[in-house]
């Protein structure tokens, strides 16, 4: 098959691309605007593969989308391009409205025009797969409930509100125009190639440099953690096997408090990186509690039984095995991290692809 992936240079997108190229014979075209979180160094290992193609495109650019989609002639479009950091959405909501809402609308219109022009046999097998987040469901604080595919939306941040908006658009284009869509909502991802502003890589890298490990509030916020390579497998399975119109929640079955995640990282580093920066006795000594984020949701947790029942997917990694793999990866790939810190990952793009 030919699969077009938006946001394929991002954290989850690049994992999906690597999975498809390494595990299938499918051809992949990545389109990515290459904002700060788009890192072509995350695609180096497959960049010379004949199945892989890349174009730098903003999903708000309808003209470029039209020509690219028609030229590539995809069987599947997987839409992962999004602004995704909650703190940034609080500081600058406009970028999230532009990319996550206007960008998704523009891509839907380009896809609909493409799909309508296909012959009937290709129309019947085409899929538009929209990748979203569990944050659209809001906060489970004070309950033992889990998010299901039928949980009402109740977003709390500009980020989650923009993703909820994009989900509604995708479903409307299915219901009103017949565009064959599938939709997934995932829990918090972690693993290799995660941009260092996010919790787990930030804690690992700060600890290795002897910097404070900032934890919001009391650190009791609960998240369901999903190893990114497990997520990539699930996304490909949904894109290729799910029935049109279906929604699937994808979770890791790994509820953890933020403070416990940080403590686990510190314990792994004690074992795997015992030579600490000067003046530090234990990595845990670096933990620093800071003012909580405005509107901070206290608990997310996903019921992923539907995707197991329908498609046979379940995560292969436990939180313990996935975290160990993640910490080891960051210890072994310090140059990738350094290129982000010094900005050279952005300056070296032309030399990679």
Question: Tell me: the pLDDT tens digits for 26-41?
Answer: 999 999 999 988 999 9
Contacts 24+ apart (CB under 8 A), 60-68: 60/98, 60/99, 60/102, 60/103, 60/106, 61/106, 62/106, 62/109, 62/110, 65/31, 65/106, 65/107, 65/110, 66/110, 66/113, 66/114, 68/4, 68/29, 68/31
Query: Does the model's pTM come out above 0.75?
Result: yes
155-210 residue pLDDT tens:
999 999 999 999 999 999 999 999 999 999 999 999 999 988 889 999 999 999 99
Percentage of the chain modeled with pLDDT above 70: 98
Other Cβ atoms closer than 10 A to 208: 19
Q: Which two tokens stand for residue 310?
A: 């329908």
- Which positions are annotated as active-site residues? 134-135, 159
- The answer regarding whether domain 2-193+224-254+298-318 maps to CATH 3.40.50.720 reads yes
**Model confidence at 96: pLDDT above 60:** yes
Q: Which two tokens stand for residue 145?
A: 């409930």
Give the confidence band of 144 by pLDDT, cuts at 50, 70, 90: confident
**Model confidence at 230: pLDDT above 60:** yes
**Model confidence at 349: pLDDT above 80:** no
Average pLDDT of every residue of the chain: 94
76-79 and 127-133 strand pairing: parallel
Beta strands in 166-286 (DSSP E): 181-186, 188-190, 213-216, 222-227, 247-250, 255-257
**Model confidence at 292: pLDDT above 90:** no
Please name every residue paired with 78 in a beta bridge, in sequence order, or none if there are none: 5, 129
**Model confidence at 154: pLDDT above 60:** yes
Q: Which two tokens stand for residue 163?
A: 């993703």
């Amino acid at each position: 098959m030919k699969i077009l992936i938006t946001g394929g240079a991002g954290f989850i997108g690049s994992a999906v691309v690597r999975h498809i190229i390494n595990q299938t014979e499918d051809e992949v075209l990545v389109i990515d605007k290459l904002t700060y979180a788009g890192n072509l160094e995350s695609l180096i290992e497959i960049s010379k593969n004949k199945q892989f193609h890349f174009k730098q495109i903003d999903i708000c650019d309808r003209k470029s989308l039209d020509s690219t989609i028609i030229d590539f002639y995809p069987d599947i479009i997987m839409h992962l391009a999004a602004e995704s950091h909650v703190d940034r959405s609080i500081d600058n909501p406009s970028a999230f409205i532009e990319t996550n809402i206007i960008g998704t609308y523009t891509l839907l219109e380009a896809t609909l025009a493409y799909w309508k022009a296909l012959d009937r046999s290709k129309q019947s097998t085409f899929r538009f797969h929209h990748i979203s987040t569990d944050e659209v469901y809001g906060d489970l604080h004070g309950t033992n409930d889990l998010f299901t595919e039928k949980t009402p939306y109740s977003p709390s941040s500009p980020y989650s509100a923009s993703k909820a908006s994009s989900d509604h658009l995708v479903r409307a284009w299915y219901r009103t125009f017949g565009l064959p869509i599938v939709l997934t909502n995932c829990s918090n991802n972690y693993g290799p190639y995660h941009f260092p502003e996010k919790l787990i890589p930030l804690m690992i890298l700060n600890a290795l440099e002897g910097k404070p490990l900032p934890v919001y509030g009391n650190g009791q916020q609960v998240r369901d953690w999903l190893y990114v390579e497990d997520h990539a497998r699930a996304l490909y399975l949904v894109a290729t096997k799910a029935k049109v119109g279906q929604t699937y929640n994808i979770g890791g079955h790994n509820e953890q408090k933020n403070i416990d995640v940080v403590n686990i990282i510190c314990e792994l580093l004690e074992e795997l990186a015992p030579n600490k920066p000067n003046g530090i006795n234990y990595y845990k000594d670096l933990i620093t509690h800071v003012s909580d984020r405005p509107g901070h949701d206290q608990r997310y947790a996903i019921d992923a039984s539907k995707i197991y029942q329908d498609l046979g997917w379940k995560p292969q990694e436990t939180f313990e095995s996935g975290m160990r793999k993640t910490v080891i990866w960051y210890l072994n790939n310090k140059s990738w991290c350094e290129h982000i810190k010094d900005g050279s990952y952005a300056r070296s793009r032309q030399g990679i692809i």
